Structure 1
Amino acid sequence: MKENRYFQMVYLLLEKGTMTAPQLAAYFEVSVRTIYRDIDILSAAGIPIYASQGRGGGISIQDNYVLKKSMLSQEEQKHILMALQSMQVIEGESAKSLLLKLSSVFQREHVDWLEIDFSSWTKSGAVKVLFQTLQNAILKSRRVKFLYCNGRGEVNERTIEPLKLVFKSYDWYVYGFCTLRNDFRFFKLTRIRRLTLCDEVYDRPIPDQLFKESENFAMAMTPVTLVFDPCMAFRVYDKFDDEVTKMPDGRLLVETYMPDNNLLYSYILSCGDSVEVIKPQSVREKIAERARNIVEKYKT
């Protein structure tokens, strides 16, 4: 994260005194251009950081400057420590070191408030390895390539410029510029295989709030009415919440909108014979057709 780098840069310069832009770039594994941009941002924030030219020159902070914890409120200090604790789950020792330093500066105990396990109950932690590699690629602005299996079962090689890791509807995705499609795309991490970090770097701004007030990612929706057996209550309330009406016989009536694509049919079929589509008729017919195809496959 950029904020992490800013804190580390101030702490490093206070400790070392003077460092050159190439030294800082090598330390943080970013470009010299990024370092100078960071200096401008820190300077605009009121930190007396400056660059001097010539022999013995470099980037420094005024000798009399002290990083005062009073610059931040108690609530802000707490939020910073909690954010660093969440980073520690992914970044390991690097975030842990900074967390300990700032906990000491603020004289506060950090709260171990978050734990993440990327694996499912039955799978290994392969997604965590993907996540860490993609995070590294984003921070270093480097391309990645991988084999990708799309929703139709087709597998092809992709090279992308990863810009953001996104958690959406129970799954992790990487958002970036795909060189094959010459456009921006989402890629589901569980469908990525043989991920490789490339040497090529890119210079592309990271988008802010991809999903906020955007219709680019909206799916066409269709109204559906479903009736579930009582044994499905735990799944029904998890997914539909206040759209559920309990019927006199104990069954659960749901009137909602769902994506007008394969996601709808996959969900209904995953409920087996514990759900009935009441309407629309077109969805009933497609479910019946798929059920007939399933029966056909199991005929002996």
Structure 2
Amino acid sequence: MRADRLLSLLLLLQNRGRMTAPELAAALEVSVRTVHRDVEALGAAGIPVRAERGRAGGYRLMDGYRTRLTGLTDSQADSLFLAGAPGPARDLGLGADLAAARLKLQAALPAGLADRARRLEGRFHLDATAWFRDADPVPHLAPIAGAVWEQHVLRTGYRRWNGEERTAVLHPLGLVLKGGIWYLVAHAPDGPVRTYRVSRFHRAEPTGERAERPPGFDLAAYWEESSRRLDAALRRQTALVRLSPRGRRLLPMLFGAAGTRALADAEPADEDGWTLVRLPVEAEPVAVGDLLRLGAEAEVVGPPDLRSAVAATVAALAARYPCQRGASTSAKRRPRGPR
């Protein structure tokens, strides 16, 4: 709708300052001609938009002009308060700032939207940490976040997954919170962009030197592509698995999206209710442990090497926990104490 576009144009000028017509057109996804018409409409409505000619020209608001957030829709106001996750903000040292900003935003909202936002905060809570796992200790998150924001080079000490320790000079590009775990996206001088788990840094010192940022780097796009590559690299083989009815219910809980997709393509159940699925799995040592979480509700049919590895692990477990029928029988015959 044009009203929404006019408000977006006004907020762009208010938040970014002077912008050219092509810049506004790109941000609003309209033509330059439409931008000129919209600016004229704002002027006719009494909004003091100034046009400055020349190479460094563009459109800007008159100095000192600000608009209140009266153009927010219900869903837009809701999204702003749902976006405020106090836990991650506290990790970054911004807990007090976030609380103050939310109070200011709430004060600026019209009465109806302010009441709606208060109800929303009382009924929805965002918790980014995964179940049954404490959040990673991240003592160096604050200086890393500062280096990301100020675009300063970091001198770091890092402990890899295998225990190997390395030192590196990194140019930080961004921080990502995934499943309650913080990751730093950065690159060494003249090196590729990589991802580092923040909890594994045992030293992180900003040097004050200006960090280099690749032209056009998009953190969200990098993370999405990196996640796809990691998933493809980890899940290189497909396991053929027979599942009981209960195993089918467990599969999405234990294997997430991969389990859900495998069930969607599953073969029809046999007369006993068992069905065959094709499940992408990681390398054999990891796959064996993952598949054994299904317990007796699954049978690995193939590939043969994976089936043999699961069978060998089950045999080793059986040898470690021999069935002691005599002990079980005697336990059953033990007299009960008073209730």
- TM-score normalised by the chain length of structure 2: 0.56
Partner of 1:96: 99
Matched, 1:202 2:211: yes
Partner of 2:335: none
SS at match of 2:222: coil
Aligned residues: 251
Deviation digits for residues 181-207 of structure 1 (CA, Å, limit 9, x no counterpart): 9222122345x1414232243131542
Change (3 A) 1:202 1:39: farther
Aligned partner (choices 239, 245, 264) of residue 287 of structure 2 = 264
**In 1, Cα distance between equivalents of 2:168 and 2:320:** 34
Change (3 A) 1:284 1:169: farther
**In 1, Cα distance between equivalents of 2:285 and 2:210:** 37
Partner of 2:325: none
**In 2, Cα distance between equivalents of 1:42 and 1:136:** 31
SS at match of 1:68: coil
**In 1, Cα distance between equivalents of 2:313 and 2:63:** 74
**In 2, Cα distance between equivalents of 1:229 and 1:155:** 45
Matched, 1:223 2:238: yes
Amino acid at match of 2:65: Y
| Matched ranges for 1:6-45 at <5 A | 39-40=17-18
Change (3 A) 1:232 1:48: farther
Shift of the alpha carbon at 1:267? 1.9
Partner of 1:165: 175
Aligned partner (choices 99, 115, 124) of residue 126 of structure 2 = 115
Deviation digits for residues 195-240 of structure 1 (CA, Å, limit 9, x no counterpart): 4232243131542422556764432632211235666566423221
Matched, 1:277 2:300: yes
Aligned partner (choices 134, 158, 173) of residue 147 of structure 1 = 158
More helix as a share of residues: 2
Matched, 1:75 2:79: no
Partner of 1:185: 194
Change (3 A) 1:230 1:146: farther
CA contact (8 A) 2:238 2:279 kept: yes
**In 2, Cα distance between equivalents of 1:296 and 1:162:** 51
Bigger Rg over Cα: 2
**In 1, Cα distance between equivalents of 2:49 and 2:319:** 73
Change (3 A) 1:289 1:204: farther
Change (3 A) 1:175 1:100: same
Deviates more, 1:110-119 or 1:138-147: 110-119
Partner of 1:156: 166
SS at match of 1:210: helix
CA contact (8 A) 1:118 1:125 kept: no
Deviation digits for residues 84-131 of structure 1 (CA, Å, limit 9, x no counterpart): x2367513111221111121111324332333264864646624x555
Shift of the alpha carbon at 1:166? 3.3
In structure 1, list runs of 5 or more residues that go unmatched. 1-6, 12-37, 51-59
Give the root-mean-square deviation of aligned CA atoms. 4.5
- TM-score normalised by the chain length of structure 1: 0.61
SS at match of 1:69: coil
Change (3 A) 1:65 1:193: closer
SS at match of 1:209: helix
Deviates more, 1:101-110 or 1:60-69: 60-69
**In 1, Cα distance between equivalents of 2:149 and 2:133:** 31
Amino acid at match of 2:67: L
In structure 2, list runs of 5 or more residues that go unmatched. 1-10, 25-38, 40-46, 51-59, 322-339
SS at match of 2:76: helix
